[in-house]
Amino acid sequence: MNHWGNVLKERLDTRTARVCIVGMGYVGLSLGVELAKAGLRVRGIDLDLERVSLLNRGESYLVDVAADTLAPLVAAGTLSATTSFEEAGSADAIVICVPTPLRKSKEPDISFILSAVENLLPRLRQGQLMVLESTTFPGTTEEVVQPRIESLGRVIGDDYFLAFSPERVDPGNKRFTTANIPKVVGGVTPACTELAASLYRHVTSSVFRASSPRVAETAKLLENTFRSVNIALANELAFACRKIGVDPWEVIDAAATKPFGFMPFYPGPGIGGHCIPVDPLYLSWKVRLTGYEAQFIALADQINRNMPEHVVTLVSDALNDRGKAVRASSVLVMGITYKPDVNDIRESPALEIIEMLARKGARVSYADPFTPQLAIEGGKLTAVVPSPEALAAADCVLILTNHSSFDYATIADRASLVVDTRNALKAYRGSRKSIVTL
């Protein structure tokens, strides 16, 4: 390793390095907290002024980051945030954690990465490490980011260092967090990889060195493609089991007793969050440029995206069986976040389901302790309290997210009709004919 690399490694190893994180959302804030806890000085950059203000007051805006963890770090001056990119000039390491959504055409949208890099370029200096954590298509680090840095006359692996390390944040997961999930790093050169590993050793004890950024980028996409395909299989199983009169959840539980060769995945109302609905399509898009069509990915995406319409059909059929039309019926939706016990509605299938029901003339309301208000097509909804009276008054109670705070015994007891897409009422289904499942 040359002079610049040795200087940076010493700063990383002795925890005297300054780290700048661009994007202080689920990934950036969690990473910043762990680095600050390890003793590094972290400065976050985010264009959301409210988010920056909350962080600088020591107030957490994420359910996975406790205020009593964040506040002491802010008070000690080891973690802070700003809206200005000027801070990047004094950093030893810069980590980019910005969103990478899909365009309406289902093509990758890396505009947030490009914007971050363009804002950073005037501030870059020799001896810095830049790590891209944003999930993206294979080749982004070397084909998109690297040329922009080299346009400044920087030599990657010599006087500037560049790597990719995929984020692996799982919101709401109490068992696996940023602190104990292994990190994968792939640098443009061996020196880049080693320096990125030195940074992440302060976060987790397990760092896997990939041979290139492209391998690390593809590994991330494989992780969530694996999940997408297996969720699609579980959703298709639900369709098949409905046809033959078998409970899909019981089938999965029975199969899961096998101690090898099987991993349980469960059906649901659709896929949500920033990863599973998006990441596989980044991979299939990149592969399609070579003339190859990733058929498995496309089929899984189709099955998963058909689930909201299937749920609406279940509600319609269930109401019809009781002599009611969807139009003018009251539907109380339980849970709208994409997974339990998080405050994240990105890509949540509940949003599409609510709008589809509303377009059919249903009077839709919702209960969700993590989302007090919801903007939908044509207006706004305000969360209601799922009291016994509210449950009894609804023509249909639709469980879309199985938050732990919901009183499922009361739902089963008071609701006249429940469409349960999460098997939340498993304990009550044997004695209730009013419960419909996927």
Outline where DSSP puts E strands in 207-259.
207-209
Residues facing 132 on adjacent strands: 96, 164
| Identity of the residue numbered 181 | I
Q: Are 404 and 341 in contact (CB under 8 A)?
A: yes
> Which residues are CB-contacts of 423 (< 8 A; sequence separation ≥ 6)?
249, 266, 402, 437
Q: Is residue 119 within a helix (H) or strand (E), and if so which, with residue range?
A: helix 111-120
> What residues act catalytically?
275
Reference 23, options 81, 93, 110; nearest CA is: 81
CA-based torsion, 187, 189, 193, 196: positive or negative: negative
Outline where DSSP puts E strands in 16-121.
18-22, 41-45, 79-82, 93-96
Task: Give CA separation, 55 vs 9, 48, 211, 246, in Å.
Answer: 29, 11, 36, 50
422 Cα distance to chain centroid: 19
